[in-house]
Structure 1
Amino acid sequence: MHSTSTTSIFNNPKLFVEGWYWALPSKKLKIGKVKAVKLLGRNLAIYRGASGQVIAVDAYCPHMGAHLAEGKVEGEGIRCFFHNWKYDERGICVEVPSLGKPLPVCIKTWSTAEKYGMIWVWVGEDKPSKLPFVPELENVEFDYILGTRFVKNCHPNVLLINAIDAHHFNTVHNLPLEIVFDSQNLNSNAITFSNITRGGDDSWLIRLIRPLYRNEVTYSMCYWYGNTGTVTLGPDFLHFYIIFALRMLEDGKTEGQTILVTRKRNGFLGWSVNRVLLWLTQQVGNYFAKGDTQVFQTIQFDLKIPIKADQSILQFIQHVNQQKALTWKTWETVDSPISSASLFEHEQH
């Protein structure tokens, strides 16, 4: 049984899920500036118009193929450097200087949004769905800082399952607690996995921190579009939130950006407390990431022998394979790949 079938989306270097993908930090794009961005194999020109709105367009001018990131921003539009053709924020040609009038041509535009200090691009032809968010903070104001940016030698899907690989918490991180996850679909594009067990009473560490928890140890992971994960963990009185925003590179590798988030607290004292909490959040994330780094530089993932502890991983694989698939570089829609429901039919050892 091969969980990495070429006809599935999961761990496929040629397919990915339609959805929101991070492009670049907001602070890297000033008003009136344009950046060249290669996203999921496709070249884009992303610029910020005079109003502050971010516009993403296909990179190449339809006249002779000049890269529009070589041009300049004018108002809400962009003008090609080569022959000065101008396109508005809808991608419509509004000026051809050599003709004195526009031509009925346009460039493809893509929906954008800004959140967590990042510019996100909606990749797909469907109407954009919700941006990734931390379920506990859906309707709450928050502070954030950008954490580590990294590259891993494995597929984003494989990197994300690390957070729900229940057994590795014991083997790699020496956590004296059995982790069992309950999964729930937040919506058609997002799935959450939450720890539902207490246990660990034979461990002095668990007994020490037990008073900090009313029920089970708080740990949950919410996956969005198969490429972004939000982690919630910590004692009842203080939860830490970490976002792992990932995107696929050539040959199925991963480029990622961590984002540290906390509830907004008012006033200077609240701001100061949040700086400390965000720093602590980053240390928590670094602790868990450090132990796994070497694995994701050498792994060749293929779940041939799933066991009971891998149930959540199998559920995530199924969730990803049920999403709408697009092709690398062209971003064209493909027929729905095979369901991985058959994974559950495999005898668990």
Structure 2
Amino acid sequence: MKETLKIFNNSDCFIEGWYWAIPAKELRVGKVKAVNLLGKELAIFRNFEKQVIAVEAYCPHMGAHLAEGKVEGDGIRCFFHNWKFNNQGKCIEFPCLNKSLSVNLQVYPTAEKYGIIWVWTGKGTPKTLPFVPELQTEECEVIVSSSFTQNCHPNVLTINAIDAHHFNTVHNLPVEIDFETEQINQNAIAFNNKTRGGDNSFFVKLIRPFYRNEVTYKICYWYGSTGIVTIGPDFLHFYIMFASRVIEGGKTAGKTILITKKRFGLLGWIFNRIVLWLTGLVGNYFAKGDTRVFQTIKFNLQTPTSADKSIIDYIKHTEAQQAFTWGSWERFTKIKS
């Protein structure tokens, strides 16, 4: 008996981790939003202490959706019978009752970074929130530039960035891409371009003075769903985060986030606007040719080649993660064969 590959590209489960829920700017103080995250209904609100709280959506009294309720103080009150829950999920007020009951909502850890509200979907203490490796300790400016849906699983979407051969066939880049795998931690893996090449190309000759060694192109993946691309000349790197999650039918919903290091003062603000605009152009260039593939692909790597080494490394990485069942958020067990 052995375990078969049942996490990668499997819409019945997802890897334990942090997942994007909603853009932070969409949740003002005192507001609550209904969010379906990986098959589970949540109510996410920002209380009057500016904390972001994510709770199971349905009131444990009669099942009214708490996104219909009202934020009060640090908690939320159900609109149906006015039961109030604090920021720990404990019910602290029971109108029309002369006694208290022991009633609690499930509360899920949240974080706010890169203009996104993230929810931790695992058990126990949350692990590391996704970050841009080069900007781990930097204050950043971001633009949540666009939403996207694709007709394939997030795993299939993310490996596109490390599909070495498609840079020649789809994007017509005159270089032979080769990646070096870097395991950052149990939940994060990176792929670094280590190939020069293309010396006979006018385009490569034009940009070569801006690079000391290889053309900078690095992809870092977190929890099998969030991919961060670092690209650009030595003096200015562009950072694009593609935060994704699997939705019903095994498809992908995601956000494109443009990121740069925060620069201060008026000139810094103007410079960052230009950098973020250029980052958007770079992201659009690479996404333009691939969308067509994602609408019809039925991923099945039957004949791997040497150019697929990075993809195989990534599949092995995802298979080593802890997975949870889509919808119930219970631990997922790999099928034995």
Pairwise TM-score range, normalised by the shorter structure: over 0.9
Change in Cα spacing, 1:183 to 1:337, as seen in structure 2 (3 Å) is farther
Deviation sequence 1:106-133 (CA, Å, 0-9, x none): 1100000000111000001121111111
Partner in structure 1 of residue 289 of structure 2: 291
Contact 2:152–2:250, Cα closer than 8 Å, also in 1: yes
Corresponding position: 1:304 with 2:302: yes
Alignment RMSD: 1.4
Partner in structure 2 of residue 258 of structure 1: 256
Contact 2:4–2:334, Cα closer than 8 Å, also in 1: no
Partner in structure 2 of residue 225 of structure 1: 223
- One of 169, 172, 196 as aligned partner of 1:171: 169
Deviation sequence 1:54-108 (CA, Å, 0-9, x none): 0000000111111011111111111111111111111111111111333101110
- Counterparts of 1:7 and 1:183, CA distance in 2: 20
Amino acid at match of 1:54: V
Deviation sequence 1:192-235 (CA, Å, 0-9, x none): 00001111112111111111110001000000000001100011
Partner in structure 1 of residue 212 of structure 2: 214
Corresponding position: 1:95 with 2:90: no
Corresponding position: 1:126 with 2:95: no
Matches within 5 A, 1:329-348: 329-335=327-333
Partner in structure 1 of residue 280 of structure 2: 282
Secondary structure (helix, strand or coil) at the match of 1:251 reads: coil
- Counterparts of 2:216 and 2:26, CA distance in 1: 35
- One of 313, 316, 326 as aligned partner of 1:318: 316
Secondary structure (helix, strand or coil) at the match of 1:22 reads: strand
- Counterparts of 2:61 and 2:68, CA distance in 1: 14
CA shift, 1:328, in A, is 0.4
Q: Which runs of 5+ in 2 are unaligned?
A: none
- Counterparts of 1:101 and 1:73, CA distance in 2: 23
Runs of 4+ in 1 over 4 A off after TM superposition: 336-339
Partner in structure 2 of residue 347 of structure 1: none
Contact 1:46–1:69, Cα closer than 8 Å, also in 2: yes
Contact 1:173–1:288, Cα closer than 8 Å, also in 2: yes
CA shift, 1:336, in A, is 5.2
- Counterparts of 2:284 and 2:120, CA distance in 1: 29
- Counterparts of 1:74 and 1:142, CA distance in 2: 32
- One of 79, 82, 91 as aligned partner of 2:80: 82
- Counterparts of 1:332 and 1:128, CA distance in 2: 16
Paired residues in the alignment total 335
Partner in structure 2 of residue 345 of structure 1: none
- Counterparts of 2:54 and 2:100, CA distance in 1: 21
Matches within 5 A, 1:263-274: 263-274=261-272
Corresponding position: 1:234 with 2:232: yes
Partner in structure 2 of residue 9 of structure 1: 7
CA shift, 1:266, in A, is 1.2
Deviation sequence 1:221-259 (CA, Å, 0-9, x none): 000000001100011011000000001110110001000
Partner in structure 1 of residue 195 of structure 2: 197
Amino acid at match of 1:141: E
Partner in structure 1 of residue 30 of structure 2: 32
Change in Cα spacing, 1:6 to 1:96, as seen in structure 2 (3 Å) is farther
Amino acid at match of 1:151: T
- Counterparts of 2:184 and 2:208, CA distance in 1: 29
Amino acid at match of 1:170: N
Partner in structure 1 of residue 18 of structure 2: 20
- Counterparts of 2:100 and 2:167, CA distance in 1: 61
- Counterparts of 1:303 and 1:82, CA distance in 2: 51
- Counterparts of 2:266 and 2:133, CA distance in 1: 27
Secondary structure (helix, strand or coil) at the match of 2:269 reads: helix
Aligned-pair identity in percent equals 63
CA shift, 1:6, in A, is 7.4
TM-score (normalizing by structure 2): 0.97
Corresponding position: 1:72 with 2:52: no
CA shift, 1:338, in A, is 7.2
TM-score (normalizing by structure 1): 0.94
Partner in structure 1 of residue 104 of structure 2: 106
- Counterparts of 1:312 and 1:76, CA distance in 2: 46
- Counterparts of 2:167 and 2:99, CA distance in 1: 64
- Counterparts of 2:99 and 2:28, CA distance in 1: 30
- Counterparts of 1:74 and 1:137, CA distance in 2: 37
Contact 1:150–1:256, Cα closer than 8 Å, also in 2: yes
CA shift, 1:148, in A, is 1.4
Contact 1:46–1:57, Cα closer than 8 Å, also in 2: yes
